[in-house]
């Protein structure tokens, strides 16, 4: 067919489609293509169109506008024409143009932009199969994706008249066509249709191209690195070296249709923004004329482009912007393909920064490697999303900004790289309990008492001293336990002595060994429990890996046997699950695991996040189970502190099953010695004896080295949360107790436990001196008094500030020189109280074994430290002997019911002495047999509330009314009044029973002070021979004397000693001599000799 101006159909086609697609393996591979609407008729030299998204390419042709992130346009421009004058074909400037107009020798009007089936067709009607399979759209299978009845192209014409008489077998440049994309694209496709034409039956010709230039977005030439290829087509030949696109058909049979040059050329390079094509006219027949048919000879063809691009986006969120150190945090990473094309080889890089420790992850697709942070997604289709959640533990220090970056190696362009990176940051809440600047998670001494947390929580020991090993469990090494040997019908358990606090976050790593027999059984259970049996809890025999039947607990299993019965069928593979310990009710579904019985140790991490109340565990990095809920209420019976341990069992099959820890100190186990709710590691007085741990530790810390909260430091007004102003090392340990520190003893880090957890030893308490002093404890808020015997009546001198509760049944312990008593009051009833010489009261804890029906008002301690107390009331015979060290009481039944209000011990007869308040008789009690023996004397009063035993065997008592302080005859019970005393209530006496009680001496009676009252002296020695018969005579007339001496020429001579201090070996208090050296009368006061220079008697 002639291509003259009266031809109505033109047979050449060019199409370039830039398409971004993402291969997910689905049939749809969206591409960006040229589509409707058509342009207006007429000749143009430049044309621009926005590429549209073919959403169901290659099987369909549904086009939508594409604006991600903005329109992608392709602009075709004719430039650098070789022949610039008006052509004879349609009388338009130049020989190369788009569209057509019915002028000159042209008889048609045609648009520059029209359907691809407008010329050069092989098929004559739909479905145009022979035409469509010549073209390949972006990222599509060869020969698919373009439909000439739906896709559009640029109608391009070459008028040959300007070639004049040149040979019709030559190749002549007619001009250039520049294709410009609005932004750089990767690997665009150029579709050419209808190359070739014929005049009559003897002259064929064709349009051809040489790629002159390929420029990137920076206007840099990249032609040399651009590879040209032909994915599909007919008669097109590509010379990648010469960069030519030629039509190989030179025959004369249907060169404009069936044998036309047609197909798709792939420009393989990244960031192509501009393609410059030199357009040639090539003649295939000699002896013909370019100006035939009055200059109406022309070749028409179509050009179109396809492109693909994929706007990859990554977003990131975090579950908590202000997490607590040690808590779980969840990062959610979403990878999106905003289109237009499917993409492949997509990856996201998200390596956790140093501020977080990886725990687990879940990926909706692909794989995530925590060690590298690479999430390999693979295919990500147009409009598809993929999600990765990473659960991490918040560290105390480090980088807290987490960044994710998305990328691909598919070669598909990303039109918007600003959304390829996403970051989130957190501001962790860091716990620093002692305010020393070192976070608790890094601080080896959280309370700055100088004793390491590991030591205070009892974790500085071999594993068998941290866990109770039961059944077949045995220690292999200091950090390893074998739960079962490789024998049938074995069961082993290990339970922590300390407890885990579920109000706090924890992450607990350890290793599990499940044996090397893949056909063995049964596995092991990780158990948290509040069973009443505590460390002696045992599960049902042969059930639930040894854990089923344990009360108030949850089990995290490592199960190596597939049950075929109850509970529900297990997976064939080794597996894990969380279940209720009492009846094995499933809490989570089972998760299959790789072979655990492979002779290898397997890393297990158990994690608890208290804020979200989430318990989870991983095995070799695989998340096995996650439970979120109120675990304390739902499973622990309301207890937030529970035991932790392991169980394992074997039956007819077996395996060697073990557990080991890399760091026992890192276990989240806590010990609370005094039960005050604070673990020892955060308790500055772990045993509750009132003396700071820092002082009771193993080094030489003194009170002056402590702050106001009794932590090591100098801030005397501080609290535990106020800095102690103490120099600490990088691990938070006070330098005072480190090697070379002022208080250090053994040259190590920190100080030893010392007596900080021994309530029976109080390093702050000041002991008494076992001497003649007698003490009284009295008042509703108990206070300590010393009885001053230098006055008459005796005076009670208060020592210290006392307690806030009553204390009775006191006794002085000669073995440690402290006074002990029994507390009263609602909050401290039946507790053992220690009192020191400063009058400080220390509560040592409840005494076990006592009858709590009534109080205890009578108490005494013998010379061996045995503490005796009597249940108050007349209707019982219950005397108890209390072991002070263990705070346990043993009943000593008395031979009869009796009531008394205090007792005293005599070291000479080893009996207890008191008064029966009913019979008013003094009685003795044998503390060994409980025998009660009465004396005969009936006393007029029965309120002797404070009794004292002297080291010489004498027994004394003070009445509550204060009327008398008395010594008792141990045979008759008769009293001898020593002095008047003071009234007292809620009282009891205490004295060191091995010390002799001594009273101050009186040299004369008090003179009479009441007029008319006579106090005659009834004894005298006279040299005058005048002793009288009545009170008016001598010596009675001398008032208020024990004895009277009288003489006129004689003297009273006492012993004369030159040096009493050295010459008298055993002076006695009150002894009087004449010191011949000092020339004075001297008196010995029990300590020193003093001159008697001021007479005391008239």
**Per-residue confidence (pLDDT) for residue 821, from 0 to 100:** 96
On the question of pLDDT at 1001 being above 90, the answer is: no
Using 50, 70 and 90 to split pLDDT, how confident is the model at 3? very low
Average pLDDT of the residues in 641-651: 97
pLDDT for 497-524, tens place per residue? 999 999 999 999 999 999 999 999 999 9
Q: In order of start, what are the domains of the chain with their CATH numbers?
A: 13-306 (no CATH), 310-425 (2.60.40.1510), 458-670 (2.60.120.200), 774-991 (2.120.10.30), 1056-1091 (no CATH)
**What pLDDT, in 10s, does the model give residues 955-981?**
999 999 877 899 999 999 999 888 888
Q: Please tell me the predicted confidence (pLDDT) of residue 654.
A: 96
pTM across the whole model: 0.75
Give the H or E element holding residue 318. Answer: strand 310-318
- The strand pair at 783-788 and 272-283 is best described as unpaired
- Mean residue pLDDT of the chain comes to 91
pLDDT exceeds cutoff 80 at 715: no
Longest dimension (CA), the chain: 193
Confidence (pLDDT) at 1093: 60
Parallel, antiparallel, or unpaired: how do β-strands 171-185 and 272-283 relate?
antiparallel
Placement of tokens 């492109």 in the chain: 307
State the alpha helices, DSSP H only, in 781-854. none
The pLDDT-based confidence of 984 (bands split at 50, 70, 90) is confident
Q: Which of 14-28, 479-493, 736-750, 852-866 has the lowest mean pLDDT?
A: 14-28
Which pLDDT does position 922 carry in this prediction? 97
| Confidence at 951, pLDDT banded by 50, 70, 90 | very high
Tokens for 539?
A: 């599960």
Q: In sequence order, what are the residues at sequence separation of 6 or more whose Cβ sits closer than 8 angstroms to the Cβ of residue 1071?
A: 1064, 1083, 1084
pLDDT digits (tens, 9 = 90+) for 738-751: 999 999 998 999 99
DSSP codes joined into one string, 868-910: EEEESSSS--EEEEEETTTTEEEEEE-SS----S--EEETTTT
pLDDT at 1051: 76
Q: What is the DSSP string of 1011-1071?
A: TT---B---EEESS--B-SSTTSBTTTSBS-S-EEE-SS------EES-HHHH-SS--TT-
pLDDT tens by residue, 370-408: 999 999 999 999 999 999 999 999 999 999 999 999 999
Average pLDDT over residues 1056-1068: 85
pLDDT band, residue 1087 (cuts 50/70/90): confident
pLDDT greater than 70 at residue 15? no
Exposure class string for 1069-1097: b at 16+ Cβ within 10 A, else e: eebebbbeeeeeebbbeeeebeeeeeeee
Mean pLDDT of 585-592: 96
Rounded to whole angstroms, the Cα distance separating 550 from 540 reads 8
pLDDT band at 1096 (very low <50, low <70, confident <90, very high): very low
Residue 933: DSSP 8-state: E
> In the 8-state DSSP scheme, what is residue 293?
H
Note the pLDDT tens digit of each residue in 454-471. 999 999 999 999 999 999
pLDDT tens for each residue of 414-427:
999 999 999 999 99
**Average pLDDT rounded to a whole number, residues 871-900:** 95
How far, CA to CA in Å, does 426 sit from each of 49, 105, 328, 357, 404?
47, 76, 12, 14, 15
Q: pLDDT value at position 602?
A: 98
Residue 118 pLDDT more than 60?
A: yes
Instruction: Give pLDDT, residue 678.
Output: 95
What's 216's DSSP letter? Answer: -
Q: What is the pLDDT at residue 354?
A: 97
Residue 1029 in this model has a pLDDT that exceeds 90: no
Q: What is the pLDDT of residues 140-172, one digit of tens each?
A: 999 999 999 999 999 999 999 999 999 999 999
Beta bridge partners of 390: 331, 361
CA distance 902 to 945: 6
Tell whether the model's pLDDT for residue 19 goes beyond 60: no
Between 670 and 1037, name the one with better pLDDT: 670
pLDDT tens per residue across span 25-49: 345 899 999 999 999 999 999 999 9
Is the pLDDT at 1004 greater than 50? The verdict is: no
The predicted pLDDT at position 724 comes to: 46
Cα distances (angstroms) measured from residue 237 to each of 119, 261, 279, 646: 21, 9, 15, 75
In the structure encoding, which two tokens stand for residue 684, read together? Answer: 């500055």
Check whether the bond before 894 is cis (ω within 30° of 0). no
> What pLDDT does 568 receive?
58
Q: What are the pLDDT digits (tens) for 302-348?
A: 999 999 999 999 999 999 999 999 999 999 999 999 999 999 999 99
Please say if the pLDDT value at position 571 is more than 90: no
CA nearest neighbour of 1091 among 1061, 1068, 1067, 1064: 1061
CB atoms within 10 A of CB 417: 12
Using a pLDDT cut of 90, give the percent of the chain over it. Answer: 79
């Amino acid at each position: 067919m002639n291509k003259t101006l009266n031809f109505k159909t033109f047979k050449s086609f060019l199409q370039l489609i830039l398409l971004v697609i993402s291969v997910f393996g689905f049939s749809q591979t969206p591409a960006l293509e040229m589509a409707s609407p058509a342009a207006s008729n007429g000749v143009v030299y430049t044309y621009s169109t926005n590429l549209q998204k073919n959403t169901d390419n290659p099987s369909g042709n549904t086009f939508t506008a594409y604006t991600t992130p903005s329109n992608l346009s392709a602009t075709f421009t004719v430039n650098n024409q070789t022949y610039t004058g008006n052509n004879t074909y349609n009388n338009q400037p130049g020989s190369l143009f788009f569209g057509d107009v019915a002028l000159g020798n042209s008889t048609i009007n045609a648009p520059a932009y029209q359907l691809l089936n407008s010329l050069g067709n092989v098929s004559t009607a739909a479905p145009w199969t022979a035409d469509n399979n010549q073209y390949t759209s972006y990222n599509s299978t060869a020969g698919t994706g373009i439909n000439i009845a739906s896709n559009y192209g640029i109608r391009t014409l070459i008028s040959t008249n300007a070639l004049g008489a040149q040979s019709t077998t030559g190749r002549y440049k007619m001009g250039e066509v520049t294709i410009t994309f609005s932004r750089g694209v990767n690997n665009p496709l150029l579709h050419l249709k209808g190359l070739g034409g014929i005049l009559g039956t003897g002259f064929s010709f064709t349009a051809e191209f040489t790629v002159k230039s390929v420029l990137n977005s920076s206007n840099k030439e990249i032609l040399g690195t651009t590879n040209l290829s032909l994915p599909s087509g007919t008669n097109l030949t590509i010379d990648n070296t010469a960069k030519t696109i030629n039509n190989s058909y030179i025959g004369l049979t249907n060169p404009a249709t069936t044998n036309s040059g047609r197909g798709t050329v792939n420009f393989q390079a990244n960031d192509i923004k501009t393609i410059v094509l030199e357009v040639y006219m090539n003649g295939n027949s000699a002896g013909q004329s370019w100006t035939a048919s009055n200059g109406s000879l022309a070749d028409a063809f179509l050009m179109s482009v396809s492109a693909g691009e994929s706007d990859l986006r990554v977003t990131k969120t975090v579950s908590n912007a202000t997490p607590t150190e040690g808590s779980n945090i969840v990062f959610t990473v979403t990878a999106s393909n905003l289109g237009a094309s499917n993409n492949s080889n997509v990856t996201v890089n998200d390596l956790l920064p140093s501020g977080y420790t990886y725990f687990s992850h879940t990926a909706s697709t692909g794989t995530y490697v925590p060690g590298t942070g690479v999430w390999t997604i693979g295919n990500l289709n147009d409009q598809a999303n993929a999600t990765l959640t990473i659960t991490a533990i918040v560290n105390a220090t480090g980088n807290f900004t987490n960044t994710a970056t998305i990328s691909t190696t598919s070669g598909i362009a990303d039109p918007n790289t600003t959304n390829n990176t996403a970051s989130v940051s957190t501001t962790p809440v860091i716990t620093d309990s002692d305010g020393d600047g070192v976070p608790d998670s890094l601080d080896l001494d959280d309370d700055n008492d100088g004793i390491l947390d590991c030591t205070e929580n009892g974790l500085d020991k071999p594993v068998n001293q941290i866990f109770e090993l039961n059944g077949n469990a045995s220690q292999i090494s200091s950090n390893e336990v074998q739960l079962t040997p490789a024998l049938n019908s074995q069961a082993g358990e290990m339970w922590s002595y300390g407890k885990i606090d579920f109000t706090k976050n924890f992450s607990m790593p350890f290793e599990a060994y499940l044996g090397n027999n893949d056909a063995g059984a049964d596995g092991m259970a990780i158990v948290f429990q509040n069973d009443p049996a505590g460390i002696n809890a045992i599960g049902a025999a042969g059930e639930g890996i040894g854990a089923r039947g344990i009360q108030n607990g949850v089990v995290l299993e490592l199960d190596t046997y597939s049950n075929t019965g109850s509970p529900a069928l297990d997976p064939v593979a080794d597996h894990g699950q969380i279940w209720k310990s009492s009846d094995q009710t499933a809490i989570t579904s089972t998760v299959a695991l790789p072979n655990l019985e492979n002779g290898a140790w397997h890393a297990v991490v158990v994690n608890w996040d208290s804020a979200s109340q989430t318990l989870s565990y991983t095995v070799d990095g695989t998340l096995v189970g996650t439970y979120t809920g109120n675990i304390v209420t739902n499973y622990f019976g309301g207890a937030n502190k529970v035991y932790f341990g392991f169980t394992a069992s074997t039956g007819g099959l077996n395996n060697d099953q073990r557990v080991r820890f890399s760091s026992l100190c890192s276990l989240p186990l806590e010990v609370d010695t005094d039960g005050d709710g604070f673990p020892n590691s955060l308790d500055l007085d772990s045993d509750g004896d009132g003396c700071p741990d820092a002082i009771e530790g193993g080094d030489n810390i003194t009170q002056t080295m402590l702050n106001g909260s009794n932590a090591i430091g100098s801030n005397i007004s501080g609290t535990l949360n106020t800095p102690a102003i103490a120099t600490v090392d990088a691990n938070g340990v006070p330098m005072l107790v480190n090697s070379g520190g002022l208080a250090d003893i053994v040259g190590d880090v920190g100080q030893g436990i010392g007596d900080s957890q021994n309530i029976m030893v109080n390093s702050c308490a000041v002991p008494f001196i076992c001497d003649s002093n007698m003490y009284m404890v009295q008042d509703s808020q108990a206070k300590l008094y010393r009885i001053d015997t230098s006055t008459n009546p005796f005076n009670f001198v208060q020592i210290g500030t006392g307690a806030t509760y009553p204390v009775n049944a006191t006794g002085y312990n000669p073995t440690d020189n402290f006074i002990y008593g029994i507390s009263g009051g609602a909050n401290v009833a039946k507790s053992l109280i220690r009192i020191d010489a400063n009058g400080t009261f220390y509560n040592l804890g409840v005494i076990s074994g006592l009858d709590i029906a009534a109080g205890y008002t009578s108490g005494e301690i013998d010379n061996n430290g045995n503490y005796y107390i009597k249940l108050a009331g007349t209707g019982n015979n219950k005397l108890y002997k209390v072991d002070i060290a263990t705070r346990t009481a043993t009943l000593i039944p008395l031979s009869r019911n009796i009531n008394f209000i205090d007792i005293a011990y005599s070291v000479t007869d080893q009996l207890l002495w008191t008064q029966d308040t009913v019979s008013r008789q003094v009685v003795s009690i044998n503390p060994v047999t409980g025998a009660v023996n009465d004396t005969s004397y009936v006393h007029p009063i029965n309120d002797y509330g404070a009794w004292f035993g002297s080291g010489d065997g004498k027994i004394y008592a003070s009445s509550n009314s204060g009327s008398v302080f008395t010594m008792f005859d141990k045979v008759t019970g008769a009293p001898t009044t020593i002095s008047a005393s003071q009234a007292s209530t809620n009282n009891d006496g205490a004295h060191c029973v091995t010390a002799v009680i001594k009273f101050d001496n009186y040299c004369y009676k008090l003179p009479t002070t009441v007029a008319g009252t006579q106090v005659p002296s009834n004894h005298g020695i006279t040299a005058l021979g005048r002793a009288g018969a009545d009170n008016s005579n001598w010596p009675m007339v001398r008032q208020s004397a024990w004895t009277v001496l009288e003489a006129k020429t004689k003297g009273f001579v006492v012993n004369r000693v030159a040096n009493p201090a050295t010459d008298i070996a055993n002076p006695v208090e009150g002894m009087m001599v004449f010191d011949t050296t000092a020339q004075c009368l001297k008196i010995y006061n029990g300590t020193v000799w003093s001159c008697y220079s001021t007479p005391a008697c008239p």
